Structure 1
């Protein structure tokens, strides 16, 4: 038993509330396409495939779906990122790397928008959209687990939403970073479930 376990971290499940929304964070070509310096991780691409299954289920039960992508007009708009490739143009408006991965892009049925910071919540229209749809539970998918997923989970928790992380629908540059952060947010802020567990629970 770890010190966290002894201290009571992760002792209770939050549970799924009355109405869920599926949130897809940054599954864009810049993170999935191997021609991008920070794209093409096998861990991220496996998560995209799992998320496609969850999207199909969500549509079948009329669950609202929101999807964001990270993009800027240029360096002056950006924060002090320590990820050099972000400044090289691929994440500026209009570049193919800012487009949602075609396995998940569906602007006619998804609420798609641009964000400029790690969290899907920060200075985006997401909160208004969640309120409009009477959402009390967020199901979070996307990349990267140690960056934008972690930030989004903490904001979801902070805004009072029941927060579910679809573990196999999130990806990172390597599996260790993913596992460390999934474990950490699961101790504090969110329930950790697989794609299939979510489908079973909501079927």
Structure 2
């Protein structure tokens, strides 16, 4: 049995817990990451996360919980950031099918959609203004990839003062190792890492109490 040096220093102590007004932040469930036709699509972990997220999002909408969707896109290669992922630079342009949200997780009549050019859903997007307007105090972060844009969104949500919840089975990545490593890491520092079932229960309780 190996010891956890982080735990011995107090990392991950206790839980943050839900506040009174949650919102779901959906990171990059766009066809460029969920469709097998894309060079970045086809991950079974992402597919599993999409399927689980359908249930979470349906419950959120039924409860009146705000849902913010984001997709990553540039206008062309000229204004793309210095990604070390060639397909994001060459293929993720506004108007291309790779930037379309996966229809399984998107409700056009309910969800708020923001475009991002950087990893975090909250970096220089209108999302913060919307969340403040909705009096949100708890961010439920789902999407892909766990080790990249999901983690960046978790860190920014934490930095803005939100209570951050991460349903681990509603997040996906290219490989299991980075997925699990980053969930463990944000769980030590910034967020409560929960199951889908626990998230559903706590989200409903928060809305009912609020």
CA deviations on 1:145-193 (whole Å, 9 max, x unpaired) are 0000000000000000000011100000011110000000000000001
CA deviations on 1:71-110 (whole Å, 9 max, x unpaired) are 110122111111111122x201111110000101212100
Matches within 5 A, 1:104-123: 104-123=105-124
C-alpha separation between the residues in 2 aligned to 1:3 and 1:13? 19
TM-score (norm 1): 0.97
Deviation for aligned residue 1:12: 1.8
Matches within 5 A, 1:9-28: 9-28=11-30
Secondary structure in structure 1 of the residue aligned to 2:140: strand
Query: 1:166 maps to which residue?
Result: 167
Secondary structure in structure 2 of the residue aligned to 1:140: strand
TM-score (norm 2): 0.94
Matches within 5 A, 1:1-203: 1-88=3-90, 90-203=91-204
Deviation for aligned residue 1:9: 0.4
C-alpha separation between the residues in 2 aligned to 1:120 and 1:131? 15
Residues 19 and 137 of structure 2 are in contact (CA less than 8 Å); yes or no, is this contact kept in structure 1? yes
Q: As a proportion of its length, which structure holds more helix?
A: 2
Residues 81 and 89 of structure 2 are in contact (CA less than 8 Å); yes or no, is this contact kept in structure 1? no
Secondary structure in structure 2 of the residue aligned to 1:168: helix
C-alpha separation between the residues in 1 aligned to 2:133 and 2:33? 30
C-alpha separation between the residues in 1 aligned to 2:36 and 2:178? 19
Aligned residues: 202
Structure 1 stretches of 5 or more lacking a match?
none
CA deviations on 1:29-71 (whole Å, 9 max, x unpaired) are 0000011111110100100010100001101111111100011
Deviation for aligned residue 1:23: 0.7
C-alpha separation between the residues in 1 aligned to 2:196 and 2:29? 16
C-alpha separation between the residues in 2 aligned to 1:93 and 1:202? 33
